[in-house]
Amino acid sequence: MNLTLHIWRQKNASSPGKMVRYEVKDVNPEMSVLEMLDVLNEELTLKGEDPVTFEHDCREGICGCCGFMINGVAHGPQAATTTCQLTMRHFKDGDELFLEPWRAKAFPIVKDLMVDRSALDRIIAAGGYVSAPTGSPQDANAILIAKENADLAMDAAACIGCGACVAACPNAAAALFTGAKISHLGLLPQGQPERVERALNMVAQLTVEGFGSCTNIGECEAVCPKQIHIEVISRMNADFRAASRKSRKEPYQDPSEFRRWSFGLKS
Amino acid sequence: MSATAVGFGDSRAARFWNATIGKKIVMAASGAVLFLFVVAHLLGNLQVFLGAEHFNAYARLLRVEPALLWAARLGLLTMVVLHVWASFQLLLLNKMEARPVGYVKKKNIGSSYASRTMYWSGPIIAAFVIYHLMQFTLGIGGTPFEEGKAYENLVAGFQVIPISIFYLIAMAMLMTHLFHGVWSAFQTLGVNHPRYTPMLRTLAKLIAIALFLGFASIPVGVMTGIVHT
Ligand code: FES
């Protein structure tokens, strides 16, 4: 099958970018979208042109590296599928594909289709962890967890941090991502000791990073390759509300600290 | 950053307000109060179908105790200010800042029309409320007005067809605003359950449609002559 691609080309964060048109011939329907770009890049390299930069790693839908907009939908038209797992058989001969990077102030473009998603890492650093002392392992059944909560926590933990939720959100909010992380830990006994501070700090970090605010419209869950439900956002809202009331810390941690840490400015 | 940037003040209230979720919670709570007011307002207004005497008596009843009347007015005004202020700050953040470069192509695949147009339906409702107060409370809406004659004012007001049509449009906007707003408020306050949320979303739509039909019946009643002086 032959396709026309319109790809966002941008040299680096500071230079202006534009859509560039490419024709790709004899696309094998068994290839993934990324493999199709690999083929295009080989051609470009042979012609002495700059290949298209896109992020990828596992290519099996579990690492969260890949992802760009395909015809206006994050990760393309197939539900519950990352870009690397999306095969070309979902397109037909003569299709025109518009490939654009995730767009958000919090995701500066690195090059072409690749953005810097370290804002998500800083949200995790602000509280998406449990402080567990290491030592000899305890008995597996020492902490009881209701099956339902274990399942819900697992569903939330399926988030691979790809950033599609931010890209699809008309407000460029990272509510689904942060909600997933807060839910995943908040549903488990190990997450309870830091639950209050976690909600306050992670939510504060969202604002510092320049993400927008959630309007509960559901574009995020529609594109999430892991089908995370916006129920996690309401869980985050509930935790934030409870934490705002309960927290005894005054003032709570300044999230800009994390930013300094992240940029290596803090020892 | 903007007005919504984290200006880490000292008080807990400031920090709550500075978090986007804090503002959303304020919007949900103020929206809930305004929603309850709208329901009560409709129930009161429907008495127009009981005739002039009854309706004017109801209008007088609302004004029996000026202190109460003003308490209610100030309370509602506070809710409106909070709702609008928070949404305006979030609007600036969401539409002006969070995505400086837009998409060449963007498809909406998971959201309803009503949910995407809250920033349109809201201001239209606000414009309507201002005119509505000018017309029936202050008496400066350009239609015949006489203090204490609520029924007659209403009939005279709605006999002007363009005004009635504006009312109908505004009520349709209120309906779409509530399609999303009612269930969204629950989501913002942290209530979402796979069993109840779908029911709530349907219920929100039914209530919004019922409110629309209820409010629309009044200008339509005047225009068709069912309600007359
Ligand atoms: S490359 Fe790892 S999820 Fe796509």
The verdict on A219 and A124 lying in the same domain is: yes
| Assigned domain for B42 exists | yes
∠ Cα A121 A127 A133 (to 5°): 110
Q: What is the DSSP string of A44-89?
A: HHHTTPPPPP---S-SSSSS-----EETTEET-SSTT--GGG-BGG
Mean pLDDT of B18-35: 95
Residue A205 and residue A255 in contact, taking contact as beta carbons nearer than 8 Å: yes
Instruction: Tell me what the pLDDT averaged over chain B comes to.
Output: 93
Q: How far apart are CA B145 and CA B132, in angstroms?
A: 13
The verdict on A162 and A193 lying in the same domain is: yes
The verdict on A251 and A175 lying in the same domain is: yes
CATH number of the domain enclosing B123: 1.20.1300.10
| Assigned domain for B229 exists | no
The verdict on A185 and A104 lying in the same domain is: no
With an 8 Å Cβ cutoff, are A215 and B118 in contact?
A: yes
pLDDT at res. A248: 75
∠ Cα B21 B24 B28 (to 5°): 135
Of the three residues A53, A84, A111, the one that is the final residue of a domain is A111
Q: Among A75, A82, A86, which residue has the most ligand 1 atoms within 8 Å of its CB, making it the best to mutate?
A: A82
pLDDT at res. B1: 34
Structure tokens at B196: 């109840």
Could you say which DSSP state residue B50 is in?
Answer: G
Of the three residues A111, A130, A161, the one that is the final residue of a domain is A111
With an 8 Å Cβ cutoff, are A235 and B110 in contact?
A: no
The verdict on A231 and A251 lying in the same domain is: yes
**Residues of chain A scoring pLDDT < 70:** 249-267
- Closest to B111 measured CA to CA, from A207, A75, A165, A98: A165
- Closest to B179 measured CA to CA, from A212, A238, A216: A216
Q: Which residues of B touch A216 (CB under 8 A)?
A: 115, 180, 183-184, 187-188
The verdict on A104 and A82 lying in the same domain is: yes
Q: How far apart are CA A42 and CA A19, in angstroms?
A: 20
Residue of A nearest to B19 (CA): A204
Sheet order of strands, A3-9 included? A18-24, A3-9, A96-100, A69-70, A73-74
**Beta-bridge partner residues of A8:** A19
Q: How far apart are CA B152 and CA B26, in angstroms?
A: 38
Residue span of the structural domain in which B172 resides:
3-223
Phi, psi of A174 (to 5 degrees): -110, 40
pLDDT at res. B16: 86
Q: What is the pLDDT of residues A56-93, one digit of tens each?
A: 999 999 999 999 999 999 999 999 999 999 999 999 99
Give the contacts of A50 (CB within 8 A, at least 6 positions apart). Answer: A9, A44
CA of A208: how far to CAs of A60, A177, B86, in Å?
32, 16, 18
| Assigned domain for A152 exists | yes
pLDDT at res. A207: 86
Give the pairing type, strands A69-70 and A114-115.
unpaired
Mean pLDDT of B38-45: 97
| Assigned domain for B144 exists | yes
In chain B, alpha helices (H): 12-18, 20-45, 52-62, 66-91, 113-116, 118-133, 150-158, 161-188, 196-223
With an 8 Å Cβ cutoff, are B4 and A207 in contact?
A: yes
CA of A75: how far to CAs of A61, B105, B186, in Å?
11, 13, 30
Q: What is the pLDDT of residues B83-102, one digit of tens each?
A: 999 999 999 999 999 999 99
Q: What is the pLDDT of residues B213-227, one digit of tens each?
A: 999 999 999 999 999
The verdict on A96 and A195 lying in the same domain is: no
pLDDT at res. A141: 86
| Assigned domain for A266 exists | no
Mean pLDDT of B3-19: 62
**Beta-bridge partner residues of A18:** A9
pLDDT at res. A247: 81
Residue of B nearest to A211 (CA): B98
Domain count, chain B: 1
Structure tokens at A106: 């919090």
| Assigned domain for A21 exists | yes
The verdict on A95 and A147 lying in the same domain is: no
CATH number of the domain enclosing A167: 1.10.1060.10
Work out the burial of residue B71: count CB atoms within 10 Å of its CB; fewer than 13 is exposed, 13-18 middle, 19 or more buried: exposed
List the single residue in A104, A206, A222 with the smallest CB-CB distance to B109. A222
Could you say which DSSP state residue A191 is in?
Answer: G
Could you say which DSSP state residue B136 is in?
Answer: I
| Assigned domain for A245 exists | yes
The verdict on A59 and A179 lying in the same domain is: no
Specify the 3-state DSSP secondary structure of B93. helix
Question: A240 or B18, which is more confident?
Answer: A240
CATH number of the domain enclosing A55: 3.10.20.30
Mean pLDDT of B148-162: 95
Q: How far apart are CA B118 and CA B122, in angstroms?
A: 6
In chain A, alpha helices (H): 33-46, 118-125, 147-157, 164-168, 175-186, 195-209, 219-223, 231-246, 256-262
Q: Which long-range contacts (CB under 8 A, 24 or more apart) does B160-163 make?
A: B161/B223, B163/B135, B163/B219
List the single residue in A103, A211, A233 with the smallest CB-CB distance to B101. A103
The verdict on A256 and A222 lying in the same domain is: yes
pLDDT at res. B3: 35
- Closest to B153 measured CA to CA, from B134, B166, B169, B168: B134
| Assigned domain for B228 exists | no
| Assigned domain for A267 exists | no
Phi, psi of B142 (to 5 degrees): 85, 5
pLDDT at res. A260: 52
Residues 108-167 of A with CB under 8 A from B: none
Specify the 3-state DSSP secondary structure of B113. helix
CA of B152: how far to CAs of A255, B36, B42, B69, B159, in Å?
60, 27, 18, 22, 11
Q: How far apart are CA B164 and CA A194, in angstroms?
A: 56
Residue B162 touches chain A, beta carbons under 8 Å: no
Structure tokens at B138: 């202050």
Of the three residues A111, A137, A171, the one that is the final residue of a domain is A111
- The ipTM estimated for the assembled molecules is 0.92
Task: Identify the residues whose C-beta falls under 6 Å from ligand 1.
Answer: A 56-59, 61-66, 82, 84
The letter for the amino acid at A14 is S
Residue of A nearest to B195 (CA): A231
Report, in angstroms and rounded to the nearest whole number, the Rg of chain B calculated over CA atoms: 20
Residue span of the structural domain in which A134 resides:
117-261
The verdict on A107 and A143 lying in the same domain is: no
Domain count, chain A: 2
